[in-house]
Structure 1
Amino acid sequence: MARKLKTYQTSLGFFDLAVAAPSMKAALEAWGADSNVFHQGAAMQSEDPDVIEATMAAPGVVLKRPVGSSGPFKEHAELPTDLAGDRSKKAGRKSAGRQPQRPSKRSHDEAADRKAALAFEKEQERRERERAKEEAARQKEGERRQHAVDKAQGAFDAARRKHENITADLQQEIEALEEKARAEEARWEKEKVRLEAALQRARG
């Protein structure tokens, strides 16, 4: 059975974020938060009827608005325009513009709750498919790169083995030539002694 959705709100970077989700954990996953901002006091369950209405119309979709503003939440929001403004003005706007939130008086019947919960699950499945698609693309790229590395490593190893074989053959030829040279030197020494002796006898 699909769980009833609640609206959660936080601020990350340049935006206030809101999402309709069945739990704080699901909201954190939707926001892509690296830590539990609820425990840090940077996120809360929203009771603002306008925010609830906006998120329930698109369950599981992260809605945004410029941080510190009181405008409507949208799926695609523009960056804040007063980032370089006076801090005192911001402080005054925050204290004057942010009133304590009143519990929503708008009720959702069970059919609407079920519809919103199913819509959230559908959005969550879409995000999971996107993540799976991205992971498959990363894995495919990793396999392609590994294939290229293996191919280059194979070519290098083959060339090294060829070089080692040629070097070994040349070394054998060098050793054979050195052996022939030593045999020739020994033969010549014997022949030289014999010829010198004959020369001495001839000079007699």
Structure 2
Amino acid sequence: MARKLKTYQTSLGFFDLAIAAPSMKAALEAWGADSNLFHQGAAKESHDPDVMAATMAKPGVVLRRPVGSDGSFTEHAELPTDLGGSSPTTRGRKSKASKTKKPSSRPGDKAAERKAALEYDREQTRREVERAREETARQKERDRRQRAVDKAQATLDKAQQDHAKRAAAIQAELEALEKRSEAEEIRWDKEKLRLETALRRARD
């Protein structure tokens, strides 16, 4: 059964945010908040008919408007032109005025609420599918990078093994040459001694 939706509102960064969601928790998740803004007094349930109408038209979608303004909430709001915002007194009056507004009760409200709740569920399903698609894409990218890393590592390992074999062969050749050099020195010492002895005898 579709859950009844409520309109929640907060301010984050340069924007006021609003969303039609079944609970405060769902609103916080949609806003990407890392703390409970409701407990901190930075978020509230909105009863402003205009805000409610905008969010109920797009349930589950985070709507925005420049922070401190009283314009309409939309999916893609422009950055505020006056970052100084309104005076605290003006904002306070707007806040109080919005709190006093109550949604009107019309015969079609129940049907509209059911429709909005169903649309919210569809939006949530769309988000979950989108998140799953993005996660699949991220996993494919991670797998691709890992394959590239594994291939590069395998190439490096093989090159190191080839180098080790060649270095060992060269070392063996060097050792063999060293032995031949030593043997030649021994042979020459003997040959030199024999020839020098013969030379001395010839002189005598």
Matched, 1:93 2:90: yes
- Quote the offset at 1:146 in angstroms: 2.5
- The match for 2:64 is 64
- Quote the offset at 1:20 in angstroms: 0.7
- The match for 2:55 is 55
Q: Which amino acid aligns with 2:74?
A: K
- The match for 1:83 is 83
- Quote the offset at 1:157 in angstroms: 2.5
- The match for 1:169 is 169
Q: How does 1:115-194 map to 2 (within 5 A)?
A: 115-194=115-194
| 1:146-175 deviation line (CA, Å, top 9, x unaligned) | 233333333222222222221111111011
**Identity score, percent:** 65
Worse-superposed segment, 192-201 or 46-55: 192-201
Q: For structure 2, which runs of at least 5 residues remain unmatched after alignment?
A: none
Q: Aligned partners of 1:177 and 1:39: how far apart in 2?
A: 84
- Number of residue equivalences: 201
Worse-superposed segment, 10-19 or 107-116: 107-116
- The match for 1:202 is 202
State the TM-score, normalizing by the size of structure 2.
0.87
Worse-superposed segment, 55-64 or 129-138: 129-138
Q: Aligned partners of 1:96 and 1:47: how far apart in 2?
A: 15
Q: Aligned partners of 2:81 and 2:197: how far apart in 1?
A: 114
- Quote the offset at 1:110 in angstroms: 4.1
Q: How does 1:99-114 map to 2 (within 5 A)?
A: 99=97, 100-107=99-106, 109-114=109-114
SS of the residue corresponding to residue 202 of structure 2 reads: helix
Q: Aligned partners of 2:25 and 2:50: how far apart in 1?
A: 23
SS of the residue corresponding to residue 72 of structure 1 reads: coil
| 1:90-136 deviation line (CA, Å, top 9, x unaligned) | 23432344413333223565443332211101101111222222222
Q: For structure 1, which runs of at least 5 residues remain unmatched after alignment?
A: none
- Quote the offset at 1:5 in angstroms: 0.9
State the TM-score, normalizing by the size of structure 1.
0.87
Q: How does 1:27-66 map to 2 (within 5 A)?
A: 27-66=27-66
| 1:183-203 deviation line (CA, Å, top 9, x unaligned) | 111122222222333333333
Worse-superposed segment, 74-83 or 94-103: 94-103
Worse-superposed segment, 93-102 or 66-75: 93-102
Q: Which amino acid aligns with 2:195?
A: L
- Quote the offset at 1:54 in angstroms: 1.7
- The match for 1:12 is 12
Root-mean-square deviation (Å): 2.1
- Quote the offset at 1:141 in angstroms: 2.2
